[in-house]
Amino acid sequence: MQQRTYLDHAASAPLRPEAVAAMTAELTRVGNPSSLHTSGRAARRVVEESREVIAAALGAAPSEVIFTSGATEADNLILKGAFRARSEPSRLLIPRSEHHAVLDSVESLTTEGAVPELLDVDRQGMVDAEQLAALLADRPETIAVVSIMWANNETGVVQPIREFAELARRSGVLFHTDAVQAAGAIPIDFAADGPDALSVTAHKLGGPVGVGALLARKELKLAPIQHGGGQERDLRSGTLDVAGIAGFAAAIAVARQQMSAETARLRALRSRLVDGVLGTQGATGIDGSSLNGSRSPEHSLPGIANVSFAGCQADNLLLLLDQAGIDSSAGSACTAGVSEPSHVLMAMGHSVEQARSSVRFSLGHTSTEADVDHLLRVLPEAVERARRAG
């Protein structure tokens, strides 16, 4: 069987060996972590020790870590929880380029009186800071939450979260960031960076699917969106997944430990890929290709490159690359199968044609130079065939 080249880490990263080992050790454990007997207390110890590891990796206090089934649930919890905890209908400020877990959560609240206010982004995908400041200055007491993604899942564009959190703090407004792509890829210090809440998930950084967390400051007033046994500060009821949480902790600990070296390695791989596609730094390149986002280390993740190929339908190109043994995507895996142009690229001012011609290549802890070279060997012919087909 042909060995595949996996360039879709932003959708889901392969499990790290450390996570597999941690989960395997817990899969045969008996005992509910909420039970008071010896087996239950042993399971609870694993949960709490894992909570401490995750908190330390993200610069938070253990009491601020609320386990969820993933970042989608964490986003729903903070947005709906913050809105419903208020006595009056209120405004929610989010960029047009946010993940659908945020956009659709906010849209669902309009039936309850929520007023969404969408922030613009520029051609690089950066949030308009002046517009944010102006909205925060306008009746801040009516704003339930501001939510801005730390790093975009389609383009890898990194926002100045510390600056935005400070703007919100001065106005007395709750500030949340979806840090799914940022966690494990760039330094995060929940205490120092200043957000009031932060969403993260395990499977983007080499942990298991089905477990994540909302980091939320203790003083936040949130209404639970899931009711039951009162676990996780009475905000997220449900029996905790001990094995998944252990795998989450193992993965984030390794990602944090290796971050400095991995950042340098992945930035070099990304530059190799981008230069090879665009024809920069002496490379041949592919005519009609352009990078969506930024090459600046300050404003981009080390491992995501989103590229448009003029005159090419991304769906056709993805199928041709798949046939050549390469896994990549046209954007968020959460909207896979939905034939719509990327809302992220449209928000950045790209045309429908440009948005439909864009492919995301995302590198991670298993990526190698051989993976990038394989892509660069087969991509020119694949693009040409896709253009003829389109």
The candidate with the shortest Cα–Cα distance to 105, out of 139, 70, 135, 74, is 74
- What b/e readout covers 99-110, taking b as 16+ CB neighbours within 10 angstroms? bbbbbbbbeebe
- Number of residues in the chain: 390
Among the options 42, 56, 291, 334, which is catalytic? Answer: 334
Q: What is the DSSP string of 58-119?
A: HT--GGGEEEESSHHHHHHHHHHHHHHTSSS--EEEEETTS-HHHHHHHHHGGGGT-EEEEE
Pairing of strands 326-327, 5-6: parallel
Return the beta strands (E) in 295-355 as ranges: 304-309, 326-327
Quick check: 124 and 294 in contact, CB under 8 A? yes
Give the distance, in angstroms, between the CA of residue 163 and the centroid of all CA atoms in the same chain. Answer: 19
Quick check: 345 and 358 in contact, CB under 8 A? yes
64: alpha, beta or left? (left if phi > 0; alpha if psi -120 to 50) = alpha
DSSP state of 325: T
CA distance 381 to 150: 35
The residues, ordered by sequence, that sit 6+ positions from 59 with a Cβ below 8 Å of its Cβ are: 188, 189, 190, 191, 192, 193
In the residue annotation, 312 being an active-site residue is answered as: no
Provide the 10 A C-beta neighbour count for residue 37: 10
Terminal-to-terminal C-alpha distance of the chain? 30
Q: What is the DSSP string of 140-151?
A: GGGEEEEE--SB
Catalytic annotation, residues? 334
